Amino acid sequence: MAVPGKRELRLAIKEHGGVIADIAKYFTVSRQTVYRWLDDKDLRSEIPKSRARLSDVSTDVIYQRLFNEDEDKAFEAAKFVKLHMNDDGHVLMLPPRLWALLLRMGISGDQLVAELEELLPELVEAS
């Protein structure tokens, strides 16, 4: 796979809501490769922005569902994002004691988010 240009990578970030696992699948590369591309092209700061947009879209989906009583799977994904990510769509909202436990275990918020990003499709399918 040829390394995408900055514009192509920026479009993929936007299209996939800043979800690294989805960007990696799109380009059929590893997440580590995507992170390397982001660093090489100075685009890592685009990820939180896209995740924030994902959070905003999720809020819209939740409100649409509440008013329309729509039963689609998008609601479950939107609910997951709103319940487990903060407003910038980056760090999980967890109680301080749980954060402390994760840090003692050597698990960063970014690692946890990355793992959950991979599990999100399975969570939506299971609902």
The mean per-residue pLDDT over the stretch 82-98 comes to 64
What tens digit of pLDDT does each residue of 25-77 get? 999 999 999 999 999 999 998 888 887 777 677 777 776 765 666 566 666 66
Domain residue ranges in the chain: 6-126
18 and 47 Cβ atoms separated by less than 8 Å = yes
What average pLDDT does the chain have?
77
- How far, in Å, CA of 61 to CA of 41, rounded? 32
Place 88 in a pLDDT band, splitting at 50, 70 and 90.
low
Identify the pLDDT of residue 17.
84
Place 100 in a pLDDT band, splitting at 50, 70 and 90.
confident
Buried b (16+ CB within 10 A) or exposed e, 29-44: bebeebbebbeebebe
Give the helix ranges, DSSP H, for 1-127. 6-15, 20-27, 31-40, 46-68, 73-84, 96-104, 109-126
- How far, in Å, CA of 10 to CA of 58, rounded? 21
